[in-house]
Amino acid sequence: MKLAVVGITGLVGNVMKQVLTERNFQIDEFIPVASPRSVGKQIEFQGKNYTIVSMEDAIAAAPDIAIFSAGGGTSKEWAPKFAEVGTTVIDNSSAWRMDPTKKLIVPEINANQLTAEDKIIANPNCSTIQMVAALNPIHKTFGLKRLVISTYQSVSGTGVAAVKQMNDERAGHEVDMVYPHPIDQNCLPHGGTFNDDGYTTEEIKLVNETRKILSDDSIQVTATVVRVPVTGGHSESVNIETKQAFDLKEIIEMLEDTDGIVVQNNHNENEYPMPLYAHHKDEVFVGRIRRDFSIENGLNMWVVADNLRKGAATNAVQIAEFLVAHELVGVTA
């Protein structure tokens, strides 16, 4: 197994190393890849030092799998070149997510769509991954009619420069602004860039990616994305209208029985998901599960996960694990 990680020096790339180690992903040859300014530098992985290589050198090595965490422009340019030499690319950017020829995968939901011919596979947006993980069992049993989503997204979702902005503001240091306003002690109803209709790109991702992953274009979705002064972990308030009547106890039991979901729903003990405690964990945490009495078949829930792990690195590694286990890449499972 030759594995390349493109964008190894970034936030997600660093978490990728941790996840690969924790999950004991079998690697015979590790190929760290980054931008030209990092080529030749040393990184440590699983007790060994590796030299960061260029895109060209990584392609020449023809890895079995390349996990990209280097931005949409980089992926658009380089992912096809890896695919041409037989590499299966798992891409964390938005470059391929809505391409009708590419699969958008959350392994617990739709990994069975993958074939050996899928050479570029899209990893969904971090906010979408955690939400659909919780919604999928509900959708399969009762059907989703409409979703109203409000997100509370950590600054690490923007990148290392945004984390630095918040920390510098807190410390009273000179600040290099990533956001158009201060983020410490503030909330910005602004994720991505604004479209002409007033929605942001992050909000539209939640609409389109949810429908694609759940294979149902009839689901009505509206979203408001908010950036909050939290280092790691995205939170979401999800208001759900189902097509069929449900029993609330059945919903809770269904979520408790879903792989990768942890239900924290004991309000009498102040037990509910929080990003402080979801940080550095792979599970999706769900709580505040209750009926919405204002509409028929209405449901509210609160969904929290670590955006750099299940929202990015862990989901990508799980895709790689599926490819290996089902012999969809050039290795023996």
Beta carbons of 2 and 31 less than 8 angstroms apart: yes
- Selected catalytic residue, list 187, 234, 267, 326: 234
Which parts of 23-151 fold into alpha helices (H)?
55-60, 72-84, 107-110, 126-142
325 is written with which tokens? 């286990």
Beta carbons of 77 and 57 less than 8 angstroms apart: no
Distance CA 25, CA 3 (A): 10
Q: Quick check: is 126 catalytic?
A: yes
Phi then psi for 11, rounded to 5 degrees? -60, -50
Beta carbons of 304 and 278 less than 8 angstroms apart: yes
Residue among 137, 128, 148 nearest 211 (CA): 128
- Give 209's contacts (C-beta < 8 A, 6+ positions apart): 97, 98, 104, 124, 125, 128, 132
Sheet strands side by side (includes 144-153): 220-227, 144-153, 234-242, 298-305, 284-292, 261-263
Q: Which residue shows structure tokens 């000179």? A: 174
C-alpha gyration radius of the chain: 20
Q: One-letter amino acid identity for 309? A: R
- Selected catalytic residue, list 126, 139, 267, 280: 126
Q: What is the DSSP string of 109-127?
A: HHGGG--TT--EEEPPPHH
Distance CA 223, CA 214 (A): 17
Active site residues: 126, 234
